Structure 1
Amino acid sequence: MATRTTYETGLEKFNRTSKAVDILFNLNFIILALLCVIPVIVVLSISLSSENSIRETGYRLFPVALSGEAYAFVVQQGTMILRAFGVSALVTVAGTVIGVLLTTTMGYALSRPSYKLRGFLTWVVFIPMIFNGGLVSSYFINTNLLGLKDSVWALILPLAVSSFNVIICKTFFKSTIPDGLVESAEIDGASQQRIFFSIILPISLPVIATIGLFLCFSYWNDWFQSMLYIDNQNLYSLQALLNSLMSNVDALAKNAASMGVSYAVLVATMPKESARMAVAIIIVLPVAFAYPFFQKYFISGLTIGAVKG
């Protein structure tokens, strides 16, 4: 009887401790969620605030004076915004497709034990993840050797493949694709291309979604490649345009002035702070809407590819 009472007392203490730990974890996740959500709410609030209220009261969590002048101004500059949006969309879609194809094929080849150069090429992939050639060498190769200056390919090719993504793919294929599956297909006379595209890829949706999301985020949020390689304003991405806005208040007005709009009038009337935030919201929305559809594959692909051996 005493032993049972002691057991029940210990169980009650364990339950109380477990509940306390659960509460602490929940509070921690709530705080982390708020740290992610509140900045977005502030940016949205600023984009919906009048320029006068921003000058008088500064940034607020909720708008002091609601105004849609920032979005109206963005709509007025529709040609420039749509062109930049189109460049970003083109680069993101094309870069993601090319990057997924190159990364998965390389990861699959390195995961096959029968591939003779597997060990050597694994080191070739791994070393650049620790040491890289530097900005000067990559700029020289992309501009002088490959001739990508002022080309949309300069926004796509430098980000298409990364060592980290290749290693994730290699680990995923090695841990989830049985050797017997590939061997049986080879016995039936299937080529390596047929095996990869007809058998391997259809059962590898988690890692494809994971790499696709990594690449999609990288391309959509990238502005650095535009700063390095793009001088033609017609090839500016939406992120490069936002970066110009952040570094130069009058950048949007200058862009619009080059299209025949009075520069003096735009500088005097444009909603500077709220226009910046409106463009930021426009950039965030597509990724925010797309992520929930890929979240399941993203989580499973990342955990399988990164944790197993």
Structure 2
Amino acid sequence: MKRNNIVIHLILAGFALICLLPFVLIVSTSLMHEKDIALFGYSFIPKRFTLMAYEVILKNPQQLINSYAVTIAVTLIGTAVGLWLTATIAYVMTRKDYKYRNKISFYVFFTMLFNGGLVPSYILISRWLGMKNTIFALFVPYLVNAWFVLLMKGFLQSIPHSLVESAKIDGAGEFKIFVKIILPIAKPAIATVGLFMVLQYWNDWWLSMLFIDKENLYTLQYLLIRVMRNLEFLNTEFARKYLNLAQVEIPTLSARMAMSVLAAGPMLFVFPFFQKYFVKGLTVGSVKG
């Protein structure tokens, strides 16, 4: 058994290393000279270290800090509100004594097959709801996701209904049952869906592009995309000719990698807090009694 455990741990360690190598390569490339990347390609060990890519991106640090703050705020608010709505909808869909249960389930499933489209969604958010150029436009459209609701529903269905009935006999109301009994048991599902929501909000740039014109409301991803587009423009033959940039080395490939580091780095510190709940979620239902 011990020898088998050693083999399994070695295999898992090797797999973890393979998963880590791409990120190491990204960090290394972000520290390389642009000419070295063009001549020698990507390398785990830069031939010449430089922070030029980070210097270009951090040229306006206040704007970057502001974008981080906006993204963090949107992620926290959107995830918290979204989890509450997702859990409540999923809980209602699991209650067999609720007469509108099937209608709500159909409505949730229907939105997975059909949506309103881009133009109606834009009109709804910007004109009817008046959320254009407000922070609400950055998280309200993603508050309820049908797939997340069905994922949460699948977990809540595994909770014995006898717990709810026992709580009712003891005099607990619906809200107290949901908050005191259902939510604590559903921590693995909440953590799983919560991580998906965090990644969704953190990586989003689409809503900023559609609804935000004010620079102080740019999210991190959208700001980095704008910086990348500016660098690519400055690296064109037209810009170099008419802006006298022929002798200037403009990092584009290394800057792209540096942006990946700045965008993905914080998420690496989030996952460990959810890891134990993922393990519990994988083993739910494996042991009865």
Name the TM-score, length of structure 2 as normaliser: 0.82
Partners of 1:223 and 1:202 in 2: CA distance: 33
| CA RMSD between the two structures | 2.9
The answer to whether the Cα contact below 8 Å between 1:242 and 1:280 also exists between their aligned partners in 2 is no
For residue 242 of structure 1, what is the amino acid of its counterpart? L
Is 1:166 aligned to 2:149, yes or no? yes
Residue in 2 aligned with 1:280? 260
Residue in 1 aligned with 2:277? 297
Identity within the alignment, %? 42
Partners of 1:157 and 1:220 in 2: CA distance: 14
The 3 A distance-change label for structure 1 pair 200 and 154 is: same
Q: Deviations over 1:58-114 (max 9, x none)?
A: 433431211223334444422111011111111111111011011001101111111
Residue in 1 aligned with 2:230? 248
The 3 A distance-change label for structure 1 pair 251 and 285 is: farther
Residue in 1 aligned with 2:36? 53
Aligned residue pair count:
269
For residue 294 of structure 1, what is the amino acid of its counterpart? F
Aligned to 1:194, which of 148, 160, 176?
Answer: 176
Name the TM-score, length of structure 1 as normaliser: 0.77
The 3 A distance-change label for structure 1 pair 286 and 264 is: farther
- TM superposition shift of 1:248: 3.2
The answer to whether the Cα contact below 8 Å between 1:103 and 1:169 also exists between their aligned partners in 2 is yes
For residue 228 of structure 2, what is the amino acid of its counterpart? M
Residue in 2 aligned with 1:238? 220
The 3 A distance-change label for structure 1 pair 302 and 154 is: farther
- TM superposition shift of 1:286: 1.1
Runs (5+) with no aligned partner, structure 2? 235-242
For residue 186 of structure 1, what is the amino acid of its counterpart? K
Q: Which moved more, 1:43-52 or 1:159-168?
A: 43-52
The answer to whether the Cα contact below 8 Å between 1:49 and 1:63 also exists between their aligned partners in 2 is yes
Matches within 5 A, 1:205-244: 205-244=187-226
Residue in 1 aligned with 2:238? none
Aligned to 2:140, which of 157, 177, 189?
Answer: 157
Partner SS, residue 249 of structure 1: helix
Greater Rg, structure 1 or structure 2? 1
Residue in 2 aligned with 1:203? 185
The answer to whether the Cα contact below 8 Å between 1:150 and 1:231 also exists between their aligned partners in 2 is yes
For residue 259 of structure 2, what is the amino acid of its counterpart? V
Residue in 1 aligned with 2:67? 84
Partners of 1:239 and 1:299 in 2: CA distance: 30
Partners of 2:103 and 2:252 in 1: CA distance: 54
More helix by share: 1
Q: Deviations over 1:29-84 (max 9, x none)?
A: 968973x5444233212211133433544433431211223334444422111011
Q: Deviations over 1:262-307 (max 9, x none)?
A: x999x957644433322220111111121122123135436759xx
Q: Deviations over 1:201-234 (max 9, x none)?
A: 1111101101100100100111111111111111
